[in-house]
Copies of this chain bind each other. A is one copy, B any other.
Amino acid sequence: MELKLGQQKSKLEINNIHKLQQDFNRIRETTLQLTQGLTAEDMQLQSMEDASPTKWHLAHTTWFFEEFILKQHIPDYKSHQEQYGYLFNSYYEAVGNRHQRPLRGMLSRPPLPDVIEYRRVINQKILELINSEPSTLSTIIDLVELGLHHEMQHQELLQTDILHALSIHPFFPQVKNRSSKQAHGESAALQFKSFQGGMIEIGLSGHSFHYDCEGPRHQYYQHPFALSKRLINNGEWLEFIQDKGYRTATLWLSEGWACNQRENWQAPLYWHQRDGKWFQFGLDGLQPIDLTAPVCHISYFEADAFASWAGHRLPKEQEWELASQSHPMEGNFLEQQHWRPLPPRWQDQSTIAQLYGDVWEWTQSPFTPYPGFKIADGAIGEYNGKFMCGQFVLRGGSCATPIQQMRPSYRNFFYPHQRWQYSGLRLAKDL
């Protein structure tokens, strides 16, 4: 998955340089902390074209600050290493040539300590720039904030990519501690909450940081609908498996069925059956399936087939956004360090649960421009627009997402066959 950037549309009000410095230090440090438990050899692994090595994430997020801030705003800036521009550019066509993506796993050089040093040096220079004269600060402050959001996106990718890489290993290495919060409760029966719809507003509200594809805010006519009050869980997914959901062509989209057949899907990604029992691999190793935890690592194709099997459908992204508007943004995010989605914390179904965190929720909305959307100019302005083809929107964040990155208007997007993100589903229906 490529990172999806864009031009922020509004300015963050910065009352306090100290807040920015704190954020910068904390977020940059968090990325490094995520590598705890990994060896230099782990951090070089690239298991598929969609994924990147951990070391590459560490370097690329640093290159971003160097390329778009230091090079642009320090006169006669001299690159930390001339070659890093080539090696750690991701896909910005406007910034020159770059190393081939599928060969990132071949970059044994620079070795890990050099990349750590690269981070240290660039961090220091950015902090110096922040502390320099106010006129400079006002010029770069938006870019620093963008760089930090960019970094947070890569924090999530770093986790999903290394998980995929380790999953190739025949002996399931465990790199994170098992969370003590794992509970094996009984999940309440699935209920739906109704929404009347009508003319609503969709898209970014307010002036905080956001990506271009989240706006412009616009009017939208929403038909009446209902959403399931919680996410679909592993127990329900097991019923789907046992009812031959994976072998019943008529439940699947045509492309989904072809993909299923080609890859011989039997269960979500990382599920393994041993002596008749199901386990799922995670950063905390191979663990027994928790029937009440949200199903995770499923493709859009699987989510859609499940919804057909259940007699319902997936939500539209506008439906999710409407539902989330009156909902506090809290949940199982990266900061909790559970490394897995968890069962819902309360059984009270008076409201809708698990909207944020745990797993990204597949919607049936293709990733398309909102009315009035325009692609911004230049390299940083590149690139949500160019991905507006063939991908579906996911909403709500996951257990691998930093909470600061999340917004009700945040639109994540992936191809319908992709499974290596922390992706799950909630059901919807027309009223």
What residues of chain A have their CB less than 8 Å away from a CB belonging to chain B?
Answer: 2, 39-42, 44-45, 47, 55, 83, 86-87, 91, 93-94, 99, 103, 105-109, 111-112, 165-166, 168-171, 173, 199, 218-221, 223, 249-250, 252-257, 300-301, 304, 308, 313, 364-366, 368-369, 371-372, 375, 382-383, 386-390, 416, 430
Contacts and interface: CB of A to CB of B under 8 A. Distances in A.
A363 to B, nearest CB: 11
B253 A389 contact: yes
Contacts of A168: 103, 106
Contacts of A170: 83, 86-87, 99
Q: Which 5 A-B pairs have the closest CB atoms?
A: A366-B366, A41-B108, A221-B221, A223-B371, A42-B108
Residue of A94, A387, A388 contacting most chain B CB atoms (<10 Å): A388
A40 B41 CA distance: 7
Contacts of A223: 218-219, 371-372
A275 B36 CA distance: 46
Copies in the complex: 4
A108 B44 contact: yes
Contact of A41 (B91, B111, B371): B111
Contacts of A105: 105
Residue of A39, A83, A91, A313 contacting most chain B CB atoms (<10 Å): A39
Contacts of A86: 170
Contact of A106 (B112, B165, B301, B364): B165
A256 B249 CA distance: 30
Contacts of A165: 106, 108
A390 B40 contact: no
A221 B201 CA distance: 11
Nearest to A389: B253
A88 to B, nearest CB: 12
A256 B257 CA distance: 24
A370 B389 CA distance: 19
A430 B371 CA distance: 8
Given A39-B108, A41-B40, A41-B41, A388 B253 contact: yes
Given A253-B386, A416-B390, A44 B44 contact: yes
10 contacts: A39-B109, A41-B108, A91-B254, A106-B169, A253-B387, A254-B383, A254-B386, A257-B386, A364-B369, A366-B368
Contacts of A218: 223
A90 to B, nearest CB: 12
Contact of A364 (B44, B301, B368): B368
A416 B173 CA distance: 40
B249 A93 contact: yes
A63 to B, nearest CB: 15
Contacts of A416: 389-390
A364 B388 CA distance: 10
Contact of A221 (B94, B111, B166, B219): B219
Contacts of A103: 168
A385 to B, nearest CB: 8
Contacts of A173: 108-109
Given A87-B170, A256-B389, A106 B47 contact: yes
A32 to B, nearest CB: 18
Nearest to A300: B389
Contacts of A40: 39-41
Contacts of A47: 106
A87 B173 CA distance: 14
A257 B112 CA distance: 33
Contacts of A111: 39, 41
A194 to B, nearest CB: 15
Contact of A83 (B2, B171, B300, B301): B171
Nearest to A252: B386
A430 B304 CA distance: 33
A425 to B, nearest CB: 15
A152 to B, nearest CB: 22
A387 B304 CA distance: 12
Given A364-B368, A371-B223, A45 B106 contact: yes
